[in-house]
Amino acid sequence: MKALITGASSGIGRDMARVLASKGYHLVLVARNEEALKQLAKELKEKEKIEIETIAMDLSIVENCKEIHKKVQNVDILINNAGFGDCGNFTKTSLEKEMNMINTNIVAYHILMKLYLIDMKAKGNGKILNVASIAGFMPGPLMATYYATKAYIVRISESIREELKKEKSNVQISILCPGPVSTNFNKVANVKFKMREASSIKVARICYQKIRTR
């Protein structure tokens, strides 16, 4: 079994890699941070007898997403996890950063989900997990763009799930919608939540149990 995980260099993506490695999955790990990917691959290879491929790539670039699909075939689980946020008044935040966020949080998810879903439907099985957020269900003043990106992921995933259900397809699509999780997200987004943050490894373990048993 092979799993492709984006945003695998830290946080939920990294811990999903750890969980899947412990279950014997061969992994393709994608992120921009090449050194972090190499360190994770080394860690996992020392513990598990699995194949691991690392790809250092910026998924905010459309052609890179298409290249991933061409390069990585026969995927059993796709975990769309790459993403980041930003905090501040909408008129004062960086337009460039927001465009990069939209490309990473929406466009990359959309491309990879569509291309791999076509493959999975053709072979009659497969699982896609889109990492969204509780933010996808509510407005987000001071984080307007981030909340909007997660709302997109929630709605398109729900819509595709209904399509698959009507087709009686064996392909599964799921959404992970946690609240604040203890990851590098807060640093990148320049935000501090007052709520208690969940452990990313616990989130990853629960998530695996849910997608495995469905």
Of 134, 118, 129, the C-alpha closest to 80 is 129
Biggest distance spanned by C-alpha atoms of the chain: 51
25 given a catalytic annotation: no
Which residue among 25, 150, 152, 208 is the active-site one? Answer: 150
Tell me if residue 146 is catalytic: yes
Rounded Cα distance, 25 and 2, in Å:
6
| Residue 178 C-beta-side C-alpha neighbours within 13 Å | 23
Tokens of 173: 């699509």
Q: Could you tell me the CA-to-CA distances from 170 to 20, 93, 121, 125, 214 in Å, in that order? A: 21, 43, 8, 5, 10
Q: Which of 25, 109, 116, 146 is catalytic?
A: 146
Q: How far apart are CA 152 and CA 106, in angstroms?
A: 7
Cα 195 to Cα 29, 93, 181, 186, 191, distances in angstroms: 30, 24, 10, 12, 12
Q: CA 133 → CA 8, 11, 62, 140, distances in Å?
A: 17, 14, 23, 12
- The residue type of 21 is A
What is the enclosing helix (H) or strand (E) of 127? Answer: strand 127-131
Q: List residues with catalytic annotation.
A: 146, 150
